[in-house]
């Protein structure tokens, strides 16, 4: 693959009830990403927005932020999915050879809607939607399925929540930095057993932007471009009952593609930091397995060993992850932005020393139906 | 039309609460329609079988997600099955929920089918549900041709005091 570099990143601070409008959030990260890249809006020759009409409460929502992203009167396209898929489309634009510098902008204000009502609408209106399924209780079905098949415990899932909220304390963008214990998680209010409040991610508003450029342009424009070494994506079946919810085959397939492109044979050794889409505590464990960091069913033991802690050999979600800030459409793109900061050595108090290869991961659909994996390097 | 504005703390900015009203009619298609017709008229659950991989899918759909071919062979199911996973929803979202919480949901592998069916669990002790539980479908008396014509799945054997 021709070289493509990420030369600008920006995030808002994530919070509930951000009084800014959608356009104001989009403008904040667009202008900051341009500043980070040392560019002006005139340098950008195409834009990808990441908007979802249900979350935004209006149809063709992407067309309402063209001015805020500086993309009116220029080639702009929307991706209705996780932000990692926006980055994927941005990469494709550059690989087409038709563009030199792509801006990718994701913004979400989850506090403006009612998340359960919106996530209920992802289920088949002819079949399961009437059951009151939403992101939380469908995830509970998956967590139970995973625990039943592999003997993973609620305590092991709780450890992920403790770790990520602790990591968030070193991330100035995080919504929910917390000093909590496993006991706090286990004793938090049961929402849909086995999922408790502290197993879930917060209702966050926020935005993220990245700027990508073709090889030579990236080198010319930025002192520390971060290179896209590999990418892979894959989706599983739609109906929950068609899938073995304890398994991560779609993610394994996405990871395999990304690893092959990046020349990664031993992910646990060759990847130094991972930012994964932990919308619920148990998800981080399952995604570890799909990414090949351990065998199926063994991620609980891996977390017990401390390997994924900040001082472990593979820190996972140094940013605090999605558990600490979940502006839905934005969350995967934020994983990429965080990975870029790690590789530049600009991650502040959450920096993983010496990281030269990083993984960023996004999901979409119920219970991680689709996955997108990026491998980034210096 | 009146618009209520809410001031957000001391930010001096306003927010406008409203509601999106969006009537919509979904067509169930040939396969979904037949599935519901059988439930409505005969209280029978039918799956659909792939001619290639021989897997039986329920709820039925037109194409096999594994072989990518059309499925046409209907298979009558007994309405009994095994619980693969479950949860008890304990938070209230009246706009979407079919009943007041707490209520139980599960994925049931029906006997004779190869996929799971997501549905409500009823006539069940919410504190004593377990994976592997044998359950059977209970149908609503007044059926309308939709997913809730199956009232819920209940345990095949009632729990005894010794359990």
d(C-alpha A364, C-alpha A370), whole Å: 5
pLDDT at position A322 is 98
B5/A contact by beta carbon, under 8 A: no
- Banded model confidence at residue A292, pLDDT cuts 50, 70, 90: very high
Exposed, middle or buried by CB within 10 Å (0-12, 13-18, 19+), for B42?
Answer: exposed
- Per-residue confidence at B7, pLDDT binned at 50, 70, 90? low
Count the alpha carbons within 13 Å of B44 in the hemisphere toward its beta carbon. Answer: 11
- Confidence category of residue A108, pLDDT binned at 50, 70, 90: very high
Q: What is the pLDDT of residues A130-180, one digit of tens each?
A: 999 999 999 999 999 999 999 999 999 999 999 999 999 999 999 999 999
B74 contacts chain A (CB < 8 A): no
| For residue B4, pLDDT beyond 70 | no
What is the per-residue pLDDT for A202? 98
Q: List chain A residues with CB under 8 Å of B28.
A: 126
CA–CA gap between residue A184 and residue A180 (Å, rounded): 6
B96: contact with A, CB 8 A cutoff: yes
**Partner A contacted by B46 (CB < 8 A):** no
| A189-217 pLDDT per residue, tens | 999 999 999 999 999 999 999 999 999 99
- List the domains of chain A with CATH numbers: 4-114+203-221 (3.40.47.10)
Q: Which residue of A has its CA nearest to B102?
A: A192
Three-state DSSP class for residue A270: helix
Percent of chain B residues past pLDDT 90, beyond the cut? 80
- ipTM comes to 0.95
Closest chain B C-alpha to A354 CA, distance in angstroms? 41
pLDDT tens-digit map of B114-148: 999 999 999 999 999 999 999 999 999 999 999 99
> Which of A47-51, A58-62, A316-320 is predicted with the least confidence, judged by mean pLDDT?
A58-62
pLDDT the model gives residue B15: 87
The model's pTM: 0.96
The secondary structure of B87-110, three-state, reads: EEECCCCCCCCCCCCCEEEEEEEE
Q: Residue B37: pLDDT above 60? A: yes
Q: Which residues of B touch A114 (CB under 8 A)?
A: 93, 95
The whole-number average pLDDT for the span A25-52 is 97
> What local confidence, expressed as pLDDT, does residue B9 receive?
64
Q: List the structure tokens of B68.
A: 């990518």
Q: What is the pLDDT of residue A107?
A: 97
**What's the pLDDT score for residue B65?**
85
Q: Which residues of B touch A112 (CB under 8 A)?
A: 15
- Residues of A near B (Cβ–Cβ under 8 Å) read 17, 19-20, 57, 112, 114, 116-117, 120, 125-134, 136-137, 140-142, 144-145, 148, 189-195, 237-242, 245
pLDDT at site A267 = 98
- Tell me the residue length of chain B: 163
Q: Check if B105 contacts A (Cβ < 8 Å).
A: yes
Minimal Cα–Cα distance from B78 to chain A, Å? 18
CA–CA distance, A341 with A349 (Å, rounded to integer): 11
How many CB atoms within 10 Å of residue A348?
A: 10
Chain A interface test: which of B55, B118, B126, B131 (most A C-beta within 10 Å): B118
In total, the C-beta contacts within 8 angstroms joining chain A to chain B are 117
pLDDT at A136: 98
Lowest mean pLDDT among A58-72, A275-289, B91-105, B107-121: A58-72
Q: What is the pLDDT of residues A220-269, one digit of tens each?
A: 999 899 999 999 999 999 999 999 999 999 999 999 999 999 999 999 99
What average pLDDT does the segment B81-99 reach?
Answer: 97
pLDDT in tens, A237-247: 999 999 999 99
């Amino acid at each position: 693959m021709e070289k493509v570099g990420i030369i600008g990143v920006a995030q808002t601070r994530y919070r509930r009830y951000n009084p800014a409008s959608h356009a104001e959030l989009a403008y904040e990260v667009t202008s900051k990403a341009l500043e980070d890249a040392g560019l002006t809006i005139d340098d950008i020759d195409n834009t990808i927005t990441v908007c979802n009409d249900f979350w935004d409460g209006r149809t063709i929502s992407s067309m309402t932020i063209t001015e805020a992203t500086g993309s009116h009167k220029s080639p702009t396209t929307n991706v209705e999915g996780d932000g990692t898929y926006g980055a994927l489309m941005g990469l494709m634009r550059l690989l087409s050879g038709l563009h030199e510098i792509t801006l990718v902008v994701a913004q979400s204000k989850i506090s403006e809607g009612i998340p359960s009502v919106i996530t209920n609408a992802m289920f088949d209106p002819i079949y399961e939607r009437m059951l009151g399924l939403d992101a939380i209780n469908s995830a509970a079905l998956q967590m139970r399925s995973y625990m039943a098949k592999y003997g993973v415990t609620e305590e092991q899932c709780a450890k992920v929540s403790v770790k990520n909220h602790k990591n968030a304390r070193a991330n100035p963008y995080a919504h929910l930095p917390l000093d909590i214990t496993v006991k706090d998680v286990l004793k938090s209010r049961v929402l849909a057993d086995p999922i408790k409040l502290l197993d879930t991610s917060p209702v966050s508003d926020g935005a993220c932007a990245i700027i990508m450029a073709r090889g030579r342009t990236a080198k010319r424009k930025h002192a520390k471009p971060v290179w896209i070494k590999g990418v892979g994506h894959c989706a599983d079946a739609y109906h929950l009952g068609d899938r073995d919810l304890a398994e991560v085959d779609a993610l394994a397939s996405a990871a395999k593609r990304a690893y092959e492109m990046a020349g990664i044979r031993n992910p646990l050794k060759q990847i130094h930091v991972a930012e994964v889409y932990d919308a619920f505590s148990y998800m981080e464990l399952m995604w570890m397995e799909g990414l090949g960091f351990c065998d199926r069913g063994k991620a609980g033991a891996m977390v017990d060993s401390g390997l994924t802690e900040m001082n472990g050999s593979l820190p996972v979600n140094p940013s605090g992850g999605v558990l600490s800030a979940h502006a839905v459409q934005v969350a995967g793109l934020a994983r990429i932005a965080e990975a870029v900061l790690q590789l530049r050595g600009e991650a502040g108090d959450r920096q993983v020393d010496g990281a030269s290869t990083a993984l960023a991961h996004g999901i979409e659909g119920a219970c991680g139906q689709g996955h997108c994996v990026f491998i980034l390097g210096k | 039309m009146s618009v209520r504005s809410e001031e957000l703390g001391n930010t001096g900015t306003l927010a406008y609460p409203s509601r999106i009203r969006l009537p919509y009619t979904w067509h169930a298609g040939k396969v979904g329609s037949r599935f519901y017709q059988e439930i409505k008229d005969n209280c029978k659950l039918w799956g659909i079988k792939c001619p290639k991989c021989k897997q039986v899918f329920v709820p039925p759909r037109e194409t096999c997600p594994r072989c990518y071919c059309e499925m046409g062979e209907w298979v009558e199911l007994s309405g009994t099955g095994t619980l693969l996973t479950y949860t008890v929803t304990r938070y209230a979202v009246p706009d979407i929920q079919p009943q007041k919480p707490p209520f139980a949901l599960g994925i049931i592998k029906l006997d004779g089918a190869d996929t799971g069916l997501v549905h409500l669990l009823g006539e069940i002790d919410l504190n004593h549900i377990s994976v592997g539980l044998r359950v059977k479908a209970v149908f609503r008396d007044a059926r309308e041709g939709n997913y809730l014509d199956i009232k819920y799945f209940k345990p095949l054997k009632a729990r005894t005091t010794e359990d």
